Structure 1
Amino acid sequence: MSSLLLKFLVVVVVLFSVYQSTAATLRPGRDQTLIRKTCKKTRNYNQCVKSLKDDRRSYDATDAPELAKIAIEHALANANHLYKQTNALRKKTGYDDKTIRAMETCSKIYGEAIDSLMQATQAIGAKDYKSANLYTSEVIDAADTCSQEFRESARKMPFARRNGILNDLAVIALDLVAHL
Structure 2
Amino acid sequence: MGSSSWFMLFLFSIASLHFHQPIVTVRGDTDLIEKTCKSTKHYGLCVSSLKSNTSSLKSDTKGLAVIMVGIGIANATATVSFLSSQLLSATANDPLMRKVLKDCADKYSYAGNSLQASLQDLATQTYDYAYMNIMAAADYPNACHNGFRRYPGLAYPAELTVREDGLKHICDVVLGIIDLL
TM range (shorter): 0.7 to 0.9
Count of aligned positions: 152
Tell me if structure 2 keeps the 8 A contact 1:99–1:153: no
**How far, CA to CA, are the matches of 1:116 and 1:102 in structure 2?**
21
The aligned counterpart of 1:166 is 167
Tell me if structure 1 keeps the 8 A contact 2:72–2:171: yes
Tell me if structure 2 keeps the 8 A contact 1:52–1:70: yes
Give me the CA root mean square deviation.
1.9
**How far, CA to CA, are the matches of 2:146 and 2:54 in structure 1?**
35
The aligned counterpart of 2:22 is none
Instruction: Summarize the alignment of residues 21-100 of structure 1 with structure 2, pairs less than 5 Å apart.
Output: 30-61=28-59, 63-88=60-85, 89-94=87-92, 96-100=94-98
Shift of 1:140: 0.9
CA deviations 1:149-176 (Å, max 9, x no partner) are 2233331325221222111111111221
1:136–1:56 CA distance, 2 compared to 1 (3 A):
same
Amino acid at match of 1:57: S
Structure 2 unaligned regions, length at least 5: 1-25
Shift of 1:95: 5.6
Q: Kindly name which structure, 1 or 2, has the bigger radius of gyration based on alpha carbons.
A: 1
1:137 corresponds, among 135, 138, 143, to 135
1:106–1:136 CA distance, 2 compared to 1 (3 A):
same
Shift of 1:148: 2.3
**How far, CA to CA, are the matches of 1:45 and 1:125 in structure 2?**
24
Shift of 1:125: 0.7
**How far, CA to CA, are the matches of 1:39 and 1:129 in structure 2?**
18
Question: Which aligned runs of 4 or more in structure 1 are off by greater than 3 angstroms?
Answer: 91-95
RCO comparison, higher one (Cα < 8 Å, 6+):
2
The aligned counterpart of 1:105 is 103
The aligned counterpart of 1:151 is 149
TM-score by length of 2: 0.76
Give % identity. Answer: 27
Tell me if structure 1 keeps the 8 A contact 2:92–2:98: no
TM-score by length of 1: 0.77
1:147–1:93 CA distance, 2 compared to 1 (3 A):
closer
Q: What SS does the corresponding residue of 2:57 show, helix, strand or coil?
A: helix
Tell me if structure 2 keeps the 8 A contact 1:34–1:64: yes
Shift of 1:142: 0.7
Amino acid at match of 1:43: K
